[in-house]
């Protein structure tokens, strides 16, 4: 009995220590900023958006460099509305996206697989007609060359079919009438979350970012600090 109690105690203490180290690392490393590239011309407006948990990178549906509607057809959304001006990209665990519409629906198996990189991932593309700047939405103006890098980063995140198009996930688990899911490369884990992906996207195009963060609060801290 004493041996079982010791094992149980050590297990609990180990879990507590792991959580403390993880949260401490997330806090400290997210406060260490990566500076934006200097002297880049202001040419393309993009946005950083959060729903309070999950960060999205938002860009124009189309400009001279890229027409996302040709890669991700409007017809893949329920509405099929072709008048949207922006498209938001979020990367994350496929099980979370498709099987967990609310936190009440979260299963231990889904959380375990996501935490330890045991499942596949997906890209959530959401169209918007307008965006309002605020605490949850930050405008960032980048150069055309930086945007080209971001386009490559987003494109490289998709799994593609034999014709080179992103693999559309046919599902009823969409969040509204103007979004769709696509199969993505990589696996979600405790060290590579949806927010890590967004943060890495900002680094790729030379914008302010965290050294590392698993949470959206880390990224937005870089855009709100003095």
For the chain, how many structural domains are there in total?
1
Q: What is the pTM of this model?
A: 0.91
Looking only at the bridges linking them, the beta strands covering 137-142 and 44-50 are antiparallel
| Other Cβ atoms within 10 Å of 190 Cβ, number | 14
- Residue 185 inside a domain? The answer is yes
- Residue 209 inside a domain? The answer is yes
Residue 117 has a pLDDT of 55
Closest of 40, 194, 58 to residue 125, by C-alpha: 58
Taking the C-alpha atoms of residue 198 and residue 54, their distance in angstroms, rounded to an integer, is: 9
Look up the domain containing 160 and give its range.
32-222
- Residue 148 inside a domain? The answer is yes
Residue 98 has a pLDDT of 82
Q: Can you give the pLDDT of all 226 residues of the chain as single tens digits? A: 776 777 777 778 878 898 999 999 999 999 999 999 999 999 999 999 999 989 999 999 999 999 999 999 999 999 999 999 999 999 999 988 887 655 555 555 655 555 555 578 999 999 999 999 999 999 999 999 999 999 999 999 999 999 999 999 999 989 999 999 999 999 999 999 999 999 999 999 999 999 999 999 999 999 987 5
Residue 7 has a pLDDT of 72
- Residue 68 inside a domain? The answer is yes
Q: Are 40 and 149 in contact (CB under 8 A)?
A: no
- Residue 6 inside a domain? The answer is no
Residue 4 has a pLDDT of 73
- Residue 25 inside a domain? The answer is no
Taking the C-alpha atoms of residue 76 and residue 208, their distance in angstroms, rounded to an integer, is: 33
- Residue 13 inside a domain? The answer is no
- Residue 52 inside a domain? The answer is yes
Torsion of Cα atoms, 218 then 106 then 97 then 223, to 10° = -10
Residue 67 has a pLDDT of 98
Rounded to 10 deg, the angle between the 194-204 and 144-156 helix axes is 140
Residue 119 has a pLDDT of 76
């Amino acid at each position: 009995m004493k041996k079982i109690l010791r094992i149980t105690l050590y297990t609990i203490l180990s879990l507590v220590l792991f959580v403390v180290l993880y949260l401490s690392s997330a806090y400290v490393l997210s406060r260490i900023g990566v500076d934006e590239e200097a002297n880049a011309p202001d040419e393309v407006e993009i946005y950083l958006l959060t729903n309070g948990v999950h960060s999205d990178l938002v860009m124009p549906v189309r400009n001279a460099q890229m027409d996302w509607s040709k890669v991700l057809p409007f017809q893949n959304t329920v509405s099929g509305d072709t008048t949207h001006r922006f498209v938001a990209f979020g990367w994350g665990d496929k099980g979370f996206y498709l099987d967990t519409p609310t936190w009440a629906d979260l299963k231990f198996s889904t959380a375990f697989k996501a935490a330890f990189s045991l499942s596949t991932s997906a890209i959530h593309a959401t169209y918007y007609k307008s965006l309002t700047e605020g605490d949850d939405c930050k405008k960032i103006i980048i150069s055309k060359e930086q945007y080209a890098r971001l386009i490559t980063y987003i494109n490289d995140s998709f799994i593609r079919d034999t014709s080179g198009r992103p693999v559309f996930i046919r599902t009823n688990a969409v969040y509204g009438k103007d979004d769709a899911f696509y199969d993505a490369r990589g696996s979600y884990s405790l060290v590579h979350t949806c927010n890590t992906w967004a943060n890495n996207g900002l680094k790729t195009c030379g914008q302010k970012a965290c050294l590392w963060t698993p949470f959206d609060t880390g990224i937005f801290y870089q855009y709100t600090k003095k």
